[in-house]
Amino acid sequence: MMKGGEEILKILAGPLRGVLERAACSFEGLQELKLRAGKPFLCQYEGQEYGFLENGTLVPMGGEVYRRFSPGREEVLQSLRKVSEREVRETLEYAGSYSLYAYEEELRQGFLTVQGGHRIGLAGKAVLDGGKIRTLKYISFLNIRLAHQVKGCAKALLPYLYDGKRIRSTLIISPPGFGKTTLLRDMIRLISDGTDGYAGVTVGVADERSELAACYQGIPQNDVGVRTDVLDACPKAQGLFMLIRSMSPQVVAADEIGSDEDVLAVKKAACCGCSVLATAHGASVAEIRGKPSLESLFKEGIFERYILLGQRNEKGKKVGQVLEIFGQDGKKVPALEDERKGGETL
Mean of pLDDT values over 64-88: 73
Task: Round the average pLDDT of the chain to a whole number and report it.
Answer: 86
Is 256's pLDDT higher than 90? yes
Is 174's pLDDT higher than 60? yes
Q: How confident is the model at residue 4 (pLDDT cuts 50, 70, 90)?
A: low
Mean of pLDDT values over 32-49: 92
Q: How confident is the model at residue 317 (pLDDT cuts 50, 70, 90)?
A: very low
How far is 212 from 205, CA to CA, in rounded Å? Answer: 8
How far is 325 from 157, CA to CA, in rounded Å? Answer: 10
Mean of pLDDT values over 39-56: 92
Mean of pLDDT values over 78-82: 90
- Of the listed ranges 157-161, 173-177, 279-283, the least confidently predicted one is 173-177
How many residues can be counted in the chain? 346
Residues β-bridged to residue 306: 171, 326
Residue of 260, 213, 261, 254 lying closest to 237 (CA atoms): 261
Res 211: pLDDT: 85
Res 71: pLDDT: 53
- Please give the radius of gyration of the chain, using alpha carbons only, rounded to the nearest integer: 21
Res 115: pLDDT: 78
Model pTM score: 0.76
Res 46: pLDDT: 85
CB 226 within 8 A of CB 183: no
Res 343: pLDDT: 43
- Of the listed ranges 46-50, 61-65, 261-265, 297-301, the least confidently predicted one is 61-65
Q: How confident is the model at residue 342 (pLDDT cuts 50, 70, 90)?
A: very low
Residue of 258, 251, 177 lying closest to 211 (CA atoms): 177
Res 305: pLDDT: 97
How far is 210 from 231, CA to CA, in rounded Å? Answer: 9
Quick one: what percent of the chain has pLDDT higher than 70? 87
177-236 residue pLDDT tens: 788 999 999 999 999 999 988 999 999 999 988 889 988 778 898 999 999 999 998 889
Is 86's pLDDT higher than 90? yes
Q: How confident is the model at residue 78 (pLDDT cuts 50, 70, 90)?
A: confident
- Of the listed ranges 44-53, 247-256, 258-267, the least confidently predicted one is 44-53
> Distances from the Cα of 144 to the Cαs of 33, 147, 179, 198, in angstroms?
5, 9, 17, 36
How far is 319 from 310, CA to CA, in rounded Å? Answer: 6
Best-predicted range by mean pLDDT (2-16, 31-45, 96-110):
31-45
Mean of pLDDT values over 327-336: 86
Res 84: pLDDT: 96
Res 299: pLDDT: 92
